Amino acid sequence: MAIGQTLLGLLEAGPRHGYELKRAYDERFGHDRPLHYGQVYATLARLLRNGLVTESGVEPGGGPERKSYAITDAGITDVERWLATPEKPEVYLQNTLYTKVVLALLSGRDAATVLDTQRAAHLKVMRELTRRKAEGDLADTLICDHALFHLEADLRWLELTAARLDELAKQVGA
């Protein structure tokens, strides 16, 4: 995820301190990967250096002074450009799982076991995501649905490959 553009997008609602940005990011996007404070402040420093944010004030706190940041017009333009740019579709034409299946065949190992082991791992993660989806809000539901759809596609590939193992073994010379 583009952390800089995400922080800029959060700043469009109004100026915030680094702590507030981290909290807002973690609540909305960081369920599985919360930001580290150092990451927030390093990103804010870069955004400030690039003219995408400006310091909008300083408040005394219990520790160091708390700087507040606001998005600039250039920052708004950057967010708009980022939102308008489609993400590159992830195409898995060469993946590790395919490599494992072929190597298992070439080495005389049981490729079906490789596929079965992977299927079990996928199903476990799918159960966890389904549970999280049932307990979560709409954001969790949408995030989990995205992951579940990808895992379902993987499962279809696992089933198709299992059905074609004999043919694949012949083609790879196993």
List pLDDT tens digits, range 117-144. 999 999 999 999 999 999 989 988 999 9
**Average pLDDT value for the chain:** 90
Share of the chain above pLDDT 90, in %: 72
pLDDT score, position 124: 96
Phi and psi based region of residue 68 (left: phi greater than 0; alpha: psi -120 to 50; beta: remaining): beta
Q: How far apart are CA 126 and CA 134, in angstroms?
A: 12
Instruction: Return contacts of 95-102, CB within 8 angstroms, 24+ apart.
Output: 97/154, 98/161, 101/161, 101/165, 101/168, 102/168, 102/172
> Would you state the structure tokens that stand for residue 100, as one six-digit string?
């494992």
How confident is the model over 13-71, as pLDDT tens digits?
999 999 999 999 998 888 778 899 999 999 999 999 999 999 988 877 666 778 899 99
CB 68 within 8 A of CB 56: yes
